[in-house]
Amino acid sequence: MAQKSIYEFSAKKLLMTELPKYFPSYNYHGKLAVITPETDWDKLVAEHPWLNTDKLAAKPDQLFGKRGKANLLLLDADLNGLKAFITERMNKKIELGGIKGTLTRFLVEPFVPHEKEFYVSITSDMGNDTVHFSFEGGIFVEENWDKVTHVPVPIGTDIDSFDLASKLPDLGDLKDTLVPFIKGVLKVYIDQDFAFLEINPFAVTADKTVVPLDLKAKLDDTASFQHLDSWGNPDNPIQFPRAFGQVLSKEEQFIADLDEKTGASLKFTILNRDARVWTMVAGGGGSVVYTDTIADMGFAKDLGNYGEYSGNPNREHTELYAQTVIDVLTERPDPQGRPKVLLIGGGIANFTDVKATFLGIVAALRKSADKLKAANVKIYVRRGGPNEKEGLKLMEDVGKEIGVPIEVYDRYTHMTRIVPLSLKGDS
């Protein structure tokens, strides 16, 4: 729950419906079409007749920028040109800044001929929402960052009476268009709980119509309950897509689905299936601390996963979680024949019942005795909290019972000490 990126399509739609409330002369064309591998061209054209008549622009809409530089931008094309452009790129694997992914979603709009490209964005910090504006929009805005004007607007400011014009550079005859536009965008940003919005660039046509060309936005998804009539509508909620190239494995998907079903928190990200060191850590902060310590001690390359279970998950969910981690970690033995290490760690819990959650983990361990032995797994446990003695005893006992080495440490051993204990000496 936090700041989440949305599709450019969603952001433009949201702006299209909300901005006219504050900037009535915003007569944006509103022509937006999305093409995915499932798109039926005939249906698409029937729904969007302008595809036949307008000159078109198209680009991937998958939360990455710099599309012009990657030859992923189509401008001033007709429908045939669009079809050719899409056919050539749809489902194509590309690599962008080291991230590999597949192109699966394109946004098509009318091509808007323009001369000048402007830049506006809004960011937030504790006290202010800051408007960033520049005449030099487009792909070179970062290089020209010194030409950007920054106008902090303190939180709680009445935007209508706020003197924005005097804080911006001289806008000349565009003043009466741009000032209300930017104020309107700022109001949408505030009222719709955006966390970030960047329109780069936007154009102003000869008849002084403002047209956003490229748009990036993040919403604060915790605010969805305040926007049931717009993006938080439970019947038609806005999509929060994953970052480009991020595809969940079946195990990660399984845990993500489990997480959806429970009030507790269950997270699992596989970093390297062949790795030797795996973690099953309680607590949001605790999980970060263990992952850090493994990396800080020089074992990042050996780390198999990031994950956490917290918020007092029930025994059944803990068992499913543990089983998933165990299944992945025992999939393949270490190529060099070294023991695999499973760290069942955690700080001293406030209220998560150590015994109850450990019962779930113990059940998974018991079922996995053969797998654990085949993969030569050594287990290290450190935990504290309610019923800690009983919980730790369970772990000791199950180790003896199933013949898997389990070393158990209580609150008097520093939380992360099991990291060096398990890894030092055999790096």
Nearer to other proteins, 195 or 204 (CB): 195
Helix ranges, 236-304 (H)? 250-261, 284-296
164 and 131 Cβ atoms separated by less than 8 Å:
yes
Kindly write down the DSSP assignment for every residue of 23-46, as one continuous string. Answer: -TT-------EEE-TT--HHHHHH
For residue 360, CA distances in Å to 32, 33, 37 come to: 49, 48, 42
28 half-sphere exposure, CB direction, 13 A CA radius: 24
User: Residue 107 CB, nearest distance to other proteins (Å)?
Assistant: 19
Residue 380 φ then ψ, to 5°: -120, 130
Helix (H, G, I), strand (E, B) or coil at 157: coil
**Residues 396-415, mask of contacts with other proteins (x by CB under 8 A):** ---------------xx-xx
Nearer to other proteins, 90 or 295 (CB): 295
Strands (E), 274-387: 277-279, 305-310, 340-344, 377-382
Number of neighbouring beta carbons within 10 Å of residue 321: 28
Helix ranges, 229-334 (H)? 250-261, 284-296, 315-329
- DSSP code for 173: G
User: Residue 388 CB, nearest distance to other proteins (Å)?
Assistant: 9
15 and 215 Cβ atoms separated by less than 8 Å:
yes
By CB under 8 A, name the one of 5, 312, 330, 357 that touches other proteins: 5
**Residues 14-33, mask of contacts with other proteins (x by CB under 8 A):** --------------------
User: Residue 10 CB, nearest distance to other proteins (Å)?
Assistant: 16
User: Residue 5 CB, nearest distance to other proteins (Å)?
Assistant: 7
12 and 231 Cβ atoms separated by less than 8 Å:
no
**Cα–Cα distance measured from residue 341 to residue 267, given in angstroms and rounded to the nearest whole number:** 19
**Residues 188-227, mask of contacts with other proteins (x by CB under 8 A):** --x--x-x------------------------x-xx-xx-
Q: Is 11 left (phi over 0), alpha (psi -120 to 50) or beta?
A: alpha
User: Residue 254 CB, nearest distance to other proteins (Å)?
Assistant: 17
Nearer to other proteins, 32 or 423 (CB): 423
Residue 71 φ then ψ, to 5°: 60, 40
Nearer to other proteins, 79 or 271 (CB): 271
User: Residue 423 CB, nearest distance to other proteins (Å)?
Assistant: 11
**Residues 145-174, mask of contacts with other proteins (x by CB under 8 A):** ----------xx------------------
CB-count burial class (<10 Å; 0-12, 13-18, 19+) for 6: buried
Nearer to other proteins, 134 or 192 (CB): 192
User: Residue 416 CB, nearest distance to other proteins (Å)?
Assistant: 4
Q: Token pair of 362, please?
A: 């113990």
Nearest to 144 by CA among 154, 135, 155: 135
User: Residue 172 CB, nearest distance to other proteins (Å)?
Assistant: 33
**Cα–Cα distance measured from residue 287 to residue 301, given in angstroms and rounded to the nearest whole number:** 17
Pairing of strands 194-204, 149-154: unpaired
Nearer to other proteins, 159 or 165 (CB): 159
Stretch that binds other proteins, among 32-40, 70-78, 102-110, 384-392 (CB under 8 A): 384-392
User: Residue 281 CB, nearest distance to other proteins (Å)?
Assistant: 11
> What part of residues 235-274 is at the interface with other proteins (CB under 8 A)?
242-243, 245-246, 267, 269, 271
Nearer to other proteins, 360 or 384 (CB): 384
**Residues 267-286, mask of contacts with other proteins (x by CB under 8 A):** x-x-x-----------xxxx
**Is there binding between residue 139 and other proteins (CB under 8 A)?**
no
By CB under 8 A, name the one of 70, 90, 139, 348 that touches other proteins: 348
**Is there binding between residue 70 and other proteins (CB under 8 A)?**
no
Q: Token pair of 237, please?
A: 């909620």
- The contact set with other proteins (CB under 8 A) reads 1-3, 5, 63, 99, 124-127, 155-156, 190, 193, 195, 220, 222-223, 225-226, 242-243, 245-246, 267, 269, 271, 283-289, 291-297, 300, 303, 306, 308, 310, 347-351, 384-386, 411-412, 414-417, 419-420
